[in-house]
Structure 1
Amino acid sequence: MWIDAAEVSETPPFHHDIKVHHLMCMELIQFVTRVSVLLPEIEAVRPGCSGTEILCRLNNEIDKAKTLHQHCSESSKLYLAFTGDTILSRCKKSRNMFEQSLNQVQNMVPVSLASEISQLIAELRGAIFSVDPSEEEAGKVIKELLHRYVNTTDSAEEYAFEAIQVAMWKLHITSLKALSIEKRSIKEMMDRVGEGETTKRRILSIFLKLLNKHGKSIVTEQIHKEDSYPFYNQCEVNSH
């Protein structure tokens, strides 16, 4: 059963819920919505066995894209920044899959529908996905931190405070509420980690340990800075 256009309009994605990689997820979900609207029209043409297979691939890709959107809405900000390259790759792969499948099916439908599909293909080809610079910087700092922990270097603990501070600021974990949400997200992810995912569990454990140890003092310092300099936030906004 294919996705109905009315169903798509009734259940729009909540872009404001995306914690990290907001622009990438928004771009991808917009394409998901466009493809979803076209599916019933393509199915109505009854494009044959090969067409049915393409429709199945498109539906599967839509489900994967929605899962990615949910992942970026529910997961830890620190973990999402750490896996930024993977998220970027997944968005590009989804875009390419949509483009390839639509390109294959456009010759199986009437001219008017083929024209709509062709326009969407052109937009897919022109779509550019990239990691936000601040989130990319946070990811680099987190990767370096984890590298030091994995190699059990003496500098790991010394570097930890500075690294987690930079990551928190870059990811806007700058209030006690935001800190609480981040810690809860990490715990919820740990609850969902499979038995064989030992590396992921260890990474999440390190994040939680560092937030428990340094998070409150980093947030307090940030709040104090904002209280001491009333125009701090405005300057930060104007600088971007």
Structure 2
Amino acid sequence: MGAESAEIVEVVETPPYPISFKVHGMMCTELRKFVDRIVKIFPEIEAARPRCSSGIKALCSLNDAIDRAKLFLQYCSESSKLYMAMKTDAIVSRCRKTKNFLEQCLCQVQSMVPVMLVHEISQIVDDLRAANFVPDKFEEEAGKVLRELLQKEAAASDSMEHAELNAFQTAASRLRITSPKAILIEKRSIKKLLEKASESDQVKKKILKYLLYLFGKYDKLIIQAQKDNTSNQNEGVHTRSADAESHTEYRLYDTRAEMLNRAIIPPEEFKCHISSRLMYDPVVIASGQTFERTLIQKWFDDGNDTCPKSEMKLDRLSLIPNAAMKDLITKWCRKYGITIQNPSMQPDVLRFFHFYC
């Protein structure tokens, strides 16, 4: 084997090769098996190639296809679960394009190898053509709820916080990001993607920053729900058949989501009647109703002299801090690990949602 041949084989073996995948495992594993089969016979293909320019070109194309496939699989193994779930359609498309590229390159080298090798290549080509990449339904759902959240326009929605919670808890349960370790790994993966994102890819960077924002705001709630669920499960039957256990595991995702929904819905009296959100600084007005300070102040500043809820005319526009309500809300938030955002300081990252697709 000449120096040129040695260099080609070395390039094929250079990219690190993953053995497991966090998300889209079935698709990536299937693609990896094809790459393994091609890499196994690559030295024989390389040894049999003619010295003409077309033969070298065909071999280099096959090498390039293998190299790209390996890099793509490595990316899938290291990337964030949440981000990969959101990009499900793109990952499916990439798997199919990679498959087609490998098939095309194998067909180009078939005419330059021995008969026995032609048969083996033909078998791989037939299997590639028959391969169908279909995403896992739970991972697909996780990506869907997150994309729908990103498409909401925060400024036009009074229930953005509730939408965030629902989307994040569903995605986390579907992707099994519910333990402290899993959350830590996911946050590190997001940060690595953020570090590698180019300055020109601002949309990707904003999405990743928003995912970190969701973790900072709701991860304690996710962990607590997982602990409660585990405790409940330990009280049940411990022995199941393999099929029953698998079925139960999928059902647990919905159970956790339902439990989280019950836990995160605050009492109505904790919500401001103007925004329907948890109050950060509750105050009482002359009608006896309690509102978020900044919102009711804006109501008065706009020239209104009535109560937004009862519509009664007010004889005075005073704001009295509701210390008792503030204490109750604080204790409830501490119990469920929720941080109330100051309504006058909403994260700028939310403004890009309606531009995302």
User: In structure 2, what is the Cα distance between the partners aligned to 1:94 and 1:179?
Assistant: 31
The match for 2:73 is: 69
User: In structure 1, what is the Cα distance between the partners aligned to 2:150 and 2:19?
Assistant: 30
* Residue 146 (structure 1) aligned with residue 150 (structure 2): yes
Per-residue CA deviations over 1:87-132 (Å, capped at 9, x if unaligned) read 1111111111111111122122221111111111111111111111
User: In structure 2, what is the Cα distance between the partners aligned to 1:104 and 1:228?
Assistant: 59
Q: Judging changes above 3 Å, is the alpha-carbon distance between structure 1 residues 151 and 133 closer, same or farther for their aligned structure 2 residues?
A: farther
Alignment equivalent of 1:2, drawn from 1, 8, 18: 8
The match for 2:22 is: 19
Q: Judging changes above 3 Å, is the alpha-carbon distance between structure 1 residues 173 and 73 closer, same or farther for their aligned structure 2 residues?
A: same
Gaps of 5+ in 2: 1-6, 251-357
User: In structure 2, what is the Cα distance between the partners aligned to 1:93 and 1:119?
Assistant: 19
* Residue 39 (structure 1) aligned with residue 42 (structure 2): yes
Q: What code does the residue aligned with 1:67 have?
A: L
* Residue 54 (structure 1) aligned with residue 58 (structure 2): yes
Runs of 4+ residues deviating >3 angstroms: 11-14, 149-155, 231-236
Of structures 1 and 2, the one with the larger relative CO (CA 8 A, separation 6+) is 1
Alignment equivalent of 2:135, drawn from 120, 131, 137: 131
User: In structure 1, what is the Cα distance between the partners aligned to 2:96 and 2:119?
Assistant: 23
In the TM superposition, residue 180 of structure 1 has moved relative to its aligned partner by 1.1
Contact 2:17 2:74 in 1 (8 A): no
Q: Judging changes above 3 Å, is the alpha-carbon distance between structure 1 residues 175 and 114 closer, same or farther for their aligned structure 2 residues?
A: same
Residues matched between the structures, number:
235
Contact 2:95 2:133 in 1 (8 A): yes
In the TM superposition, residue 150 of structure 1 has moved relative to its aligned partner by 7.1
Q: What does 1:64-143 align with in structure 2 at a 5 Å threshold?
A: 64-143=68-147
User: In structure 2, what is the Cα distance between the partners aligned to 1:232 and 1:79?
Assistant: 36
In the TM superposition, residue 66 of structure 1 has moved relative to its aligned partner by 1.3
User: In structure 1, what is the Cα distance between the partners aligned to 2:246 and 2:120?
Assistant: 40
Alignment equivalent of 1:238, drawn from 208, 225, 247: 247
Per-residue CA deviations over 1:145-166 (Å, capped at 9, x if unaligned) read 1111577644332200010000
User: In structure 1, what is the Cα distance between the partners aligned to 2:189 and 2:218?
Assistant: 17
What's the Cα RMSD here?
A: 2.3
User: In structure 1, what is the Cα distance between the partners aligned to 2:18 and 2:191?
Assistant: 23
The match for 1:30 is: 33
Secondary structure, counterpart of 1:42 in structure 2: helix
The match for 2:280 is: none
Secondary structure, counterpart of 1:167 in structure 2: helix
User: In structure 2, what is the Cα distance between the partners aligned to 1:150 and 1:114?
Assistant: 58
User: In structure 2, what is the Cα distance between the partners aligned to 1:211 and 1:159?
Assistant: 14
In the TM superposition, residue 227 of structure 1 has moved relative to its aligned partner by 0.5
Q: Judging changes above 3 Å, is the alpha-carbon distance between structure 1 residues 77 and 35 closer, same or farther for their aligned structure 2 residues?
A: same
The match for 2:168 is: 164
TM-score, structure 2 as length reference: 0.61
* Residue 187 (structure 1) aligned with residue 196 (structure 2): no
Structure with greater helix share of residues: 1
Gaps of 5+ in 1: none
User: In structure 1, what is the Cα distance between the partners aligned to 2:62 and 2:216?
Assistant: 43
Contact 1:3 1:36 in 2 (8 A): no
Per-residue CA deviations over 1:163-221 (Å, capped at 9, x if unaligned) read 00000000000101101111111112111111111100100011000111011211211
Bigger shift: residues 150-159 or 179-188: 150-159
The match for 2:203 is: 199
Secondary structure, counterpart of 2:9 in structure 1: coil
Secondary structure, counterpart of 1:222 in structure 2: helix
Q: Judging changes above 3 Å, is the alpha-carbon distance between structure 1 residues 222 and 232 closer, same or farther for their aligned structure 2 residues?
A: farther
